[in-house]
Amino acid sequence: MSSSDPTVQPVPASVVEQVDAADVTLSNPKRAVISLGSNLGNRLETLQGAIDALEDTPGLRVKAVSPVYETDPWGVESGTQATYFNAVVLIKTTLPPSSLLERGHAIEEAFERVRDERWGPRTIDVDIVAYQDVVSDDPQLTLPHPRAHERAFVLVPWNDVDPQAEVPGRGTVAGLLAAVGQDGVRVRVDLELRLPE
């Protein structure tokens, strides 16, 4: 084998860039934002389990994980439920929104999520907050999430992982957060969620 054998030559950076660009074009991943919440059982372990399950999904990569926030339950009388741990995950995926929704429901089922009552306690809540710039009022999956723009427990962690983010049709996350305020959303610096390897 002579040294002029092309298989042993370093690949020029320009070729690597072209291959990377082609790879992105081929798979054409979309950006999506997932909100996670848990107020039953080992909340931190459940959130991490949901993140790991997302990463294990074919056609999906977890790109960023927010800090953990502790929040009071939404829509119920104070003290009637445990507090929530909330986080936001940024993903890139080739899955369409409907398949991503199915995956979210499958993760909820795996963690024995029970849907008995509206705003009831839950082991895990997996919500698709936004998918690329899609605006859709499909009753199965409204995009962006119809109440995300008014919920600090979604906006605060989302702003952490993507300060330039926008809620399609609603404005910037930072602007919406300034309007809503951060009352009742407490960062838990003692807790950490890992980005999957």
Which of 43, 103, 122, 151 does the annotation list as catalytic? Answer: 122
d(CA 31, CA 94): 9
Q: Contacts by 175-184 with C-beta closer than 8 Å and gap 24+?
A: 176/149, 176/150, 177/152, 180/150, 180/151, 180/152, 180/155, 181/152, 182/152, 182/156, 183/152, 184/71, 184/72, 184/152, 184/153
Q: Which of 52, 72, 125, 160 is catalytic?
A: 125
Quick one: angle between helices 97-110 and 43-55, nearest 10? Answer: 140
Active site residue 125: yes
Tally of CB atoms within 10 A around 99: 14
> Residues with Cβ < 8 Å from 188, sequence gap 6 or more?
67, 68, 69, 70, 85
Here the tokens at position 83 are 């507090």
Token pair of 163, please?
């300060």
Residue 193 structure tokens: 């969620």
Task: Based on the residue annotation, tell me whether 122 is a catalytic residue of this protein.
Answer: yes
Write down the residue that tokens 């991490």 correspond to.
Answer: 48
Tell me which of 43, 103, 113, 151 is the catalytic residue.
113
Residue in this structure with the two tokens 């929104």, named with its chain if needed: 97
The one catalytic residue in 43, 103, 127, 162 is: 127
**Catalytic machinery residues:** 113, 122, 125, 127
